[in-house]
Structure 1
């Protein structure tokens, strides 16, 4: 779901917009501005929540909120409506969405990473990215360069902290060489042959994981959002609704337990690398790892993404831009005539090269 956060200007009644650079609410209609009710607290420690308490549904009620949602019939995104809105366009695939009466009860965000790029800067980043794709249709490039509106959306993520202690068993491989006699062209030849001597080993490794990041949205292909990393999580700010003024915020679709399962897979890959480093030697075999996980905590955070969903010749193209760095990812469009032209040009070049070689011979 996505949620519109509106704060009316007391001067003219238009909606305020949060200006990340100024750190205040700004009215684009009359120019009035107002400082945040709470100062922007950079590098402030954001309190973690207890994972087990959340699973047992014993979190404080202040950490929970309920909103009215409707599901996009095309991509499945859950879009939130305010009381005066009955229809809108899905920001993820540009499909018309009509309101219903569904509700969503979820854990409130704990932190937010405010937008740094303006919509105009995001449009330029996307146009430049498309411009580097030679096989993209010219019509789509022109369509994007016209400055079509992009949606600023705060995308939900989970972060997980955990303390881990692991016991392992395996073997350390040491490379050595022996001289063997082998026949070559009917004659004996001395060759060096590589061997590995395996020694059984066991041991322990420990690691504290801090802010394992897991996407909590299913509205966009994960390969695109993962490619927007890295995020400067050290700049996270304690959540306040004013930060979202003029933007949308999507509710999480990946539940907490499902998110931790993905985080645990990330942890296990790191622990496997730790074990192999601890085994040492030239080669390593890992027979088994037993990991004890404790003190698991989490945060629900919102990260800034500029998003465009364009319908071009009956097909929807989706692009996402990191609202901090300007990194762009999206569905790569292809132009059939450009591909055909490239193939023909390649055949012509190959033919000319072949002709020159034949003439020289």
Structure 2
């Protein structure tokens, strides 16, 4: 990210000297004063999908850099959100906690991002539609959420590629007459992982990743430019590549075990052990857009998250215990009625 003064100059309208913000609906910078539009397309947009090779036995090539930017440090969750342009916030985009303002940040250079395509009004509407469709939700929930604050944020992610040469040992169960017998097996397979999407921040929860961001299309990536962040917050990359790979280890282990189960093609596969030789590691440091809507219900903080690319929505919600009790009573009545009708039919 560029120096603060340079960013301010880049975002100044050439027509009236006003400040510009990024408008997702126009996919461009738009002057807040005179509405002049500035496109952000470049001849090198296709290069944003470039992947970078990583050798675990060599020093990392990415230097850590310190820049003068508007940094909001959350006093509740510890998140650091960077703002460019003149947009400021008094609340954390991740947890809605209070923030304190600083003017420097240390992190790794952002390689690329996918710009916002969903404007805030559409994100608010998507959140309300999601809430309205919740089963057994309190009747007042829609009105509570309609007054909630929505924050636009670019969150840091990795994409990882690798080739895995796997040797495995496992057990499985078979039926022999009336007995279940355990057998052992072993084998080898090669697995190619392509664009595994990995959060690069502890603040990016499974709600954000698995709920709305699991469909990643590298063709939407664009080279990092401050203009895309104008009017939005962003968390910088603070993980090294090695740390990112460590963060992906648990998910990768689960994927490998599932591939082994499919390779064995037996039921009851268990006690899986394996070794793997990893090669061909490639990565990207990217930012992905999300809208986070914070609200409180009966004093409990909750949030609804909307993907800034296509509007997919997922979130946290309360239940109405009165409605749940009513549904349970209705289900019990239907079950009893069905049982009586079935019994009466059997007597005829």
Q: Which TM-score band (shorter chain)?
A: 0.7 to 0.9
What secondary structure does 2:56 align onto?
helix
Q: 1:122 Cα deviation (Å)?
A: 0.8
Q: CA deviation at 1:40?
A: 7.2
Conserved? CA contact 1:19–1:26, under 8 Å: yes
Match of 1:182 in 2: none
Q: CA RMSD of the aligned region, Å?
A: 3.8
1:144 aligns with 2:145: yes
1:247 matched to 2:249: no
Matching residue of 1:9: 13
What residue in structure 1 maps to residue 281 of structure 2?
A: 296
Could you report, residue by residue, the CA deviation over 1:259-306 in whole angstroms, capped at 9, with x for unpaired residues? 312323322223223333333455545553111112323221111101
Q: What's the counterpart of residue 340 of structure 1?
A: 322
What is the CA distance between 1:204 and its match in structure 2?
2.0
Match of 2:98 in 1: 96
**Aligned residue in 2 for 1:167:** 167
Partner Cα separation in structure 2 for residue 353 and residue 283 of structure 1: 34
Aligned to 1:121: 122
**Runs of at least 5 residues in structure 2 that lack an aligned partner in the other structure:** none
Per-residue CA distance 1:220-263 (angstroms, 9 max, x = gap): 54334321132232322232222222222112465543431232
Q: Residue 183 of structure 1 aligns with which residue?
A: none
Q: TM-score by structure 1 length?
A: 0.75
Gaps of at least 5 residues in structure 1 are: 179-192
Aligned to 2:39: 35
CA distance in 1, matches of 2:159, 2:26: 28
The residue aligned with 1:215 is 199
- Please, what TM-score do these two structures have when normalized by structure 2? 0.78
Distance 1:51 1:250, change over 3 A: farther
Within 5 Å, give how 1:170-185 maps onto structure 2.
170=170, 175=174, 177-178=176-177
The structure number with the bigger radius of gyration is 1
Deviation (angstroms), 1:155: 0.8
